[in-house]
Structure 1
């Protein structure tokens, strides 16, 4: 876990198994005024989220140990209203037709496709910060019960979805 500390700035936890992606995101999001902690999987990200109570989470979907969907499911079903209300940017190189609606129904705030674009990523981060500030960070995300994924969804996403559905929240 990599951490840059400044007690005044908002905090972001970044989870991606590719070090280059983590570092690129850390750099871009730090330019938006966030302290960033980077992790290589959903389990380490969950520990960082519990410890740091960040204002933002960015997670890849497909990672070892625990997926971004595991992280998202655990977050949106947690007993803490504060944790449930953290905005989550979900990123992936998966190119499924219905992935945006799938991520949104799972409780993701925004979905961005890899390769990421610096300007678009920073615009999303800044917009989420504005919305959260206007709402005084007291908002909830709705998690919709997801029917079995559409056949157009890739086998990888289908497998990750099935694991989350069968096992429920991985962390508490």
Structure 2
């Protein structure tokens, strides 16, 4: 079973994402910010990461840049999940190493499509 790490400071968003991802066949882990997520990845590198842009302690883009420098950090497919809809910000995430981008709010169909587009399916 593939693992997806959901990184979001909103417990509600993590819960919704977990439910969708589990229905898609993923084992799900959660982190409330980028620093917690990076520590988790240093122990167990997931196949996929769903990450929010704006979070306390360490935001999504900083997390992504640091993840890609970790041993094995190029492997996970990273999907940004944010309310950010400015094209320059979306491009910044993709240029920073994200594989896909999902706008909040999202549903299971969108999540399945974006994960498949990123090259990861359960």
* TM-score computed with the length of structure 1 as normaliser: 0.66
Q: Is the 8 A contact 2:101 2:114 kept in 1?
A: no
Match of 2:73 in 1: 83
Match of 2:104 in 1: 114
Deviations 1:97-147 (A, max 9, x none): 3222211110000011111122111222244225xx9xxxxxxxxxxxxxx
Q: Does 1:26 align with 2:43?
A: no
Q: 2:50 aligns with which of 48, 51, 58?
A: 58
Q: Which has the larger radius of gyration?
A: 1
Say which SS state the counterpart of residue 14 (structure 1) adopts: strand
Question: Larger relative contact order (C-alpha < 8 A, sep ≥ 6)?
Answer: 2
* TM-score computed with the length of structure 2 as normaliser: 0.91
Deviations 1:73-106 (A, max 9, x none): 101223x1x2222110011112213222211110
Structure showing the higher strand proportion among its residues: 2
Runs (4+) of structure 1 moved beyond 6 Å?
A: none
TM-align CA RMSD:
1.6
Unpaired runs of 5+ residues, structure 2, are: none
Correspondence list, 1:149-160, <5 A = none
Deviations 1:43-97 (A, max 9, x none): 111111111211001100100111011110101223x1x2222110011112213
Unpaired runs of 5+ residues, structure 1, are: 1-8, 134-172
Q: Does 1:104 align with 2:84?
A: no
